A and B are shown apart, each in its own frame.
Chain A
Amino acid sequence: MPKDHKRINGPEETVPYNLFTKLNTKTLLTKFEEAVCNGKRTDLRVPEEHRKIFLKSGIVSQAKGSAYIELGKTKVIVSVFDPREIPNRTDYSLKGEIYCEFKFAPFSCVKRRQHQQDTEEKQYSAIMKQALESTVCRHEFPNFQVDIYALVLHNDGSVLSAAITAAGVALSHAGVPMYDAITSVTLGIQDGIRLLDPNCEEQTLCEIPISSKQESSHGVIIVSMLDTHEQISQFYQYGCISVEDLSASVDVLKQACKNIVPVVQKCLVKHVLRTLNEDVED
């Protein structure tokens, strides 16, 4: 990690204190059983239930478009800036470009994050770009670049999905032409149980296999969909999942993405009405 000379750094060999607490000595199996007991999760949701979403646009006044999303305790802000000329580009191109930057705030996760983008954040930026590229009408701004910045204030699972949904709202708020509203959902699988929209604890539990059975799957799937066109614009999965489990999960995810669309639409309509009312009052 490149050393940050502008801030006062802590000593190099630091570890979070949680490693030494009693909670850390529980086995994975116990933790999982506590997470999902009697068909209910820790926050009393059924396994295939999404958390309540709070979406607001127009949060950042300096940006052309912006949105703030809360998914349970996960909080993400996304801002979009005007199309500007692509620096260092001389060849002719019929399509515009999208530049995405995804960043965790240093205090957002359990373990303090570095101030510079690490590989995980770079990977998430690439996935976000993949998702938004098929949504935006790129032929409307050839040779220009739209900048999208996502900042996570609190990470409680499903961060990438929250960022993508909020980015869709921010792009509409900025007036960038789009083909469809984009919604994104995360799903965690562990030993035959599907946890829709997992929180941070559940997401880490799904990354490691718990059962030693040959056929059990575990992993995390993140999908972004364009609902009216029924197209998947981005699909990312990690873990170890069998094909049958994967196809069943895709169906669940499709339905979940569809269910979020009214929330996104309501937010956008509210914003338009608000702007209209302000004009009327002026």
Chain B
Amino acid sequence: MSLCEAEKTFVLHGVEENFRVDGREREDYRPMELETDIVSHAFGSARLRLANTDVLVAVKIEVDAPFPERPYEGKLDFFVDCSANATPDFEGRGGEELAVQISNALSSAYRSPNVFDLRKLCILKGKKCWKLYVDILLLECGGNLFDAVSLAVKAALWNTQVPLVKQVDIDGNNINLDVSDSLSDCQRMDVEKAPIMVTVCKIGERCVVDPNAAEEKCSVGSVVVAVAGRKISTVLQTGTGSLHPVTLLECLTLGVKIAQRLDTALWDTLRQIKPNQDVGFLK
């Protein structure tokens, strides 16, 4: 979808006046909808809808051997799939570039142990660990993908139940794991510091968060900031434009501020979730 010059000018002037096309201010988000625990085969799942953007995340867990040079750590793997449901452009390998960009951003964001401690996923040092496969499905693309994906991933990891290992028997080279049978006997993951990504778009001279598809086309450069707690876990510059260092730092400070607000809102919602409240796609 392309825009004509007149529409771009209209959007630009709106951003200058702090009154965007749909009435929001520069720092406002559109209303979102979240639900967790919708995929029964997965150990944890979440779905987030941000206006026209729809993201479904499912977490599966398997037992694996840890990397030889990092015997105490488990593994975390992100995979993003741009479904052809979203737009016909994603058919076949069309969405690959976007998918790779998002999964790289997530891997960078979750890299530091301060953000997500992989050592909690270790079962037996050097021999067995849990490997988490986080699969992200983009059902609809309406702008602002990084934010929606990071929120959904955090909710899915919060929802994930890692089975409890009751006993480990070592018999020569055979290792037998005794995993608890009951479903409620599990450990939840500590996602207190899991990062939230905020896309800050530069339109004209100002910075805007949560751009819709039309605003994304008007922006020259944008910065994706992943914030964990009060620290920045990854920064990516996307788009084809360059930024002045001062603008970049402004974007980063704005991103940190907004991410903290998003985090509080997300935790408020997660605490409201009661078990067995399946809605899914049927309502």
Contact = CB atoms under 8 A, between A and B. Distances in A.
Indicate yes or no for A touching B, C-beta below 8 A: yes
Interface of A: 15-16, 19, 119, 122-123, 126, 130, 133-134, 207-209, 217-219, 226, 229-243, 246-247, 250, 254
A232 B245 contact: yes
A79 B108 CA distance: 28
A234 B68 contact: no
Contact of A231 (B114, B236, B244): B244
B18 interface: no
Interface string B60-75: 0000000011000000
Given A232-B245, A240-B112, A134 B104 contact: no
A239 B104 contact: no
B191 interface: no
Contact of B238 (A130, A217, A218): A130
Contact of B107 (A19, A119, A207, A239): A119
Contacts of B243: 231-232, 235
18 contacts: A15-B68, A119-B104, A122-B104, A123-B100, A207-B111, A217-B231, A218-B112, A230-B245, A231-B244, A232-B237, A232-B248, A237-B232, A238-B234, A240-B115, A243-B256, A247-B249, A247-B252, A250-B245
Please list the 8 inter-chain residue pairs (A to B) with the smallest Cβ-Cβ separation, ordered nearest first.
A231-B242, A134-B242, A233-B242, A237-B235, A240-B112, A240-B114, A123-B104, A238-B108
A160 to B, nearest CB: 13
B253 A239 contact: no
Contact of B242 (A15, A226, A240): A226
A18 to B, nearest CB: 8
Contacts of B100: 119, 122-123, 126
Given A207-B111, A231-B242, A231-B243, A241 B231 contact: yes
B233 interface: yes
B173 interface: no
A239 B68 contact: no
Contacts of A231: 242-244
B113 interface: yes
Interface string B207-234: 0000000000000000100001011111
A178 B102 CA distance: 29
B191 to A, nearest CB: 15
Interface string B251-270: 01100100000000000000
B9 interface: no
A238 B232 CA distance: 8
B184 interface: no
Contact of A237 (B114, B234, B245, B249): B234
Chain A facing B: main interface SS:
mixed
B92 interface: no
Interface of B: 68-69, 97, 100-101, 103-104, 107-109, 111-115, 223, 228, 230-238, 240-245, 248-249, 252-253, 256
Given A122-B100, A133-B240, A134-B242, A235 B235 contact: yes
A236 B237 contact: yes
Contacts of B249: 246-247, 250
Chain B facing A: main interface SS:
mixed
Given A134-B240, A250-B248, 16 more contacts: A122-B104, A126-B97, A126-B100, A133-B240, A134-B242, A207-B111, A209-B112, A231-B243, A233-B237, A236-B234, A237-B234, A237-B235, A243-B232, A243-B256, A246-B249, A246-B252
Contacts of A243: 230-232, 252-253, 256
A100 B249 CA distance: 28
Nearest to A130: B237
Contacts of B103: 119
Contact of B233 (A126, A133, A238): A238
Contacts of A226: 242
Contacts of B242: 134, 226, 229, 231-233
A241 B228 CA distance: 10
A110 to B, nearest CB: 10
Contacts of A219: 112
B236, B244, B256: most-surrounded residue (chain A CB, <10 A): B236
A127 to B, nearest CB: 8
A49 B221 CA distance: 31
A208 B100 CA distance: 24
A16 B108 CA distance: 25
Contacts of A235: 223, 235-237, 243, 248
A247 B256 CA distance: 13
A240 B228 contact: yes
Contacts of B245: 230, 232, 250, 254
Contacts of A16: 69
Contacts of B234: 236-239
B235 to A, nearest CB: 4
A212 B197 CA distance: 25
Contacts of A234: 237
Nearest to B237: A235
Contacts of B112: 207-209, 218-219, 238-240
